[in-house]
Every structure is written in C-alpha cells, then in structure tokens.
Structure 1
Amino acid sequence: MLKSRRLVLSAVALTALAMVAVYVVLTDRTQRPGNAAALAFQRLDGGPADLASFRGQAVLLTIWATWCWSCREELPALARFHRALDGRPPAVVALSVDRDGAEIVEPLLEQLKVKDLPVYLDPTGASVARLAISGLPTTILLGPDGSERARWYGVKAWDQKPMADEIAALLAVYKKTDAR
C-alpha cells in the first residue's frame, strides 16, 4: 500500500514537472511584461523621447545607473559598439534610471570619456517595472516590430566579435522576412 502510494505521488510529481517543461518550451519567451513600445523617457537635454519613435528599427536597449559599478564598466564597450555600427542596426539606447537625471549622468559620461553613446533618462524608473528588470545592467534587443528578441544580464563585451555576431544572428531573422 505504501509502495503504491509512493508510485502515485512520483507519477503526479513527474506529470507536474513535465507540464511545467512543456509550458516553458511552448511559451513565447520574446514577450515580457509591459509594452516596450509605449515606454517614455527623456533625452539628456530634458526633451521627451520614447521607444515608439524607434518603431521599424531594431533597438539594443541597455538599462543602467551611475551607481552600478558593472554599468560603469560596460558603458565604454557599449559606446564602442555603437560607434562601430556606423548607423547600421540596431539603434543603441542607453537608458539611465538615475533619479537625479542628467545632473549625475553627464559627469559620469565625461569621466568615462563616453561621448557619442545615445544616452536617455528615466528618472522615475518606470522602465524597470514595465520591462521586468531584475538587475543592472540589463540589455534587451528589440526587433523592428518591437518584440523582445533577447535579454542579457550583467556586463557584456559589446565591442567584441562574439557579441556582434550574436546580435547579427538574432536580427538576421528580420532580413529573411523582409526579402520575401
């Protein structure tokens, strides 16, 4: 009796585990909480900006803050990656979630000698909740249709060939679709 009860419980546990595995495989992991396209933020000069203005373009969106040491380490490589793109996709958006905005962001950019990186501000931190950000830096690759194609956590060597190749492969799907 005890042995059959254990077998039943094991079968139930295995069935539940299998159901979770099927859910994970079948769930579209490109969809995250919130609508990224509706995300509004500011330019460094205080003017309004939003992700909707990038519609039709792939976007590499990095959420970062000045107090985040990993973010400080990553920003120069992200700037070099942006420079190497020379206007080719994806558009790079470095979104600071510092509450003090440009007052604290601009001196850090100067200190790091990061001059040509497209930096935006989200002093309310709305992007953290809307995009379900769990740590900084977090970088999200959005396809031209606004869907999330990939998400990376922590420092990445954006200016190194393996990262450029990974992004190119993720965006190649759109080139094939456009060719049809």
Structure 2
Amino acid sequence: MTLAAALSYAVVADRTPRPRNADALMFQRLDGSAAGLASFRGQAVLLTVWATWCWSCREEMPALARLHRSLDGRPPAVIALSVDRDGAEVVEPLLDQLNIADLPVYLDPTGASVGQLSISGLPTTILFGPDGSERGRWFGVRAWDEKPMIDEIAALLARAPQGGAR
C-alpha cells in the first residue's frame, strides 16, 4: 500500500482528553540506559509508538526522521518508541536499513507504553504540549514531513490544552 493510500484510510487526529500520568512512562535508550517521558517535561513532544514488524511503521519512519531534521531543535521534540521485545537487537538493523541515523529512538521491550497510553494499534502518534497535556493522537501512517501535517501539529500546539495531563 502506498503512503497516499494509507493516508486515505487513516483516522483524523483524535483530540479526546485522556487523563493519565504519562510522566510515569519509562523506557530505554538504544544503549540500554533508562529514560522516560518525564525528562521531556516543559517541551512539546511528538511520540510515535511503533515496532519493526509493523509494515506501516516501517513506511512512516523515514518521514518522521525527515520531520525531526527539518525542525532543527524547534518544538516539538520528535521521538520514536519501539515496542519490540528484542529491543536494540532488532531496532538498530532496521534503522540502518532505512538509513535513519538522527531520529531519537527509544525502546520499550516490555510494551508497558501500549497500556499506559491506551494504544490500540501501531503506529500510534501522540502529541503532548509543553504542559504535558495530550493535544492530538493519530493512528496509522502519516506524511509527517509534509506541510499539511506540520501545520496541523503547529495549530494543535498553539491551542490551549483541553484537559488531560501527562
């Protein structure tokens, strides 16, 4: 399936407030050291939950990496959280295959993030505002580096939070 076809089936951003403490979400860096969503507090974060076995995830990773590069340190911080049980052992070879070197990728080999963030399918991307509120949620493949998507993210970040917190 092409990216354009996948986009035609994708669900629009779900802005339903989800009260939860996502700050408690813990994961690992590729080197195995501990990290967590709390370390991003005060920053807007675009968090994509994905897996190497998910073909849709593989399709959108290059666009996510291009978005990260194009932002050049401007908000939101773009991070990809892999829920592969085998962790870096399977993630790093795929990143090499896709020629993705600069996208911040983290690991959740326990899959705890799926339950904590109420994720029902992959890829799922959640936009958190700097205050920790969930500003948007997308299911399925997106053209993250294209202007309409970048504009949608900017508009969601510009709006006041509607409830829910990390």
Compute the TM-score of the two structures, normalised by the length of structure 1: 0.79
Matched, 1:65 2:51: yes
Matched with 1:163 is 149
Pairing partner for 1:31 from 14, 18, 38 = 18
Query: What is the CA-CA distance between 1:29 and the residue it aligns to?
Result: 2.1
Write out aligned runs for 1:20-169 (5 A). 29-32=16-19, 34-169=20-155
Deviation at 1:173, TM superposition (A): 2.5
Point out the structure with the larger helix share.
Answer: 1
Aligned residue pair count = 146
Identity of aligned residues (%): 78
* Counterpart residue type for residue 30 of structure 1: P
Structure 1 CA distance for aligned equivalents of residues 97 and 106 of structure 2: 17
- Structure 1, gaps ≥5 residues long: 1-27, 175-180
- Superposed CA RMSD in Å reads 1.1
| Inter-partner Cα distance in structure 2 for 1:134 and 1:127 | 11
Shift in Å, 1:37: 1.2
CA distance in 2, matches of 1:83, 1:158: 11
**Comparing both chains, which one has the higher relative contact order based on Cα–Cα distances under 8 Å and sequence gaps of 6 or more?**
2
Which of these two proteins has the greater Rg computed from alpha carbons?
1
Task: Flag structure 2 segments of 5+ consecutive residues without an equivalent.
Answer: 1-14, 161-166
The 1-side partners of 2:147 and 2:110 are apart by: 35
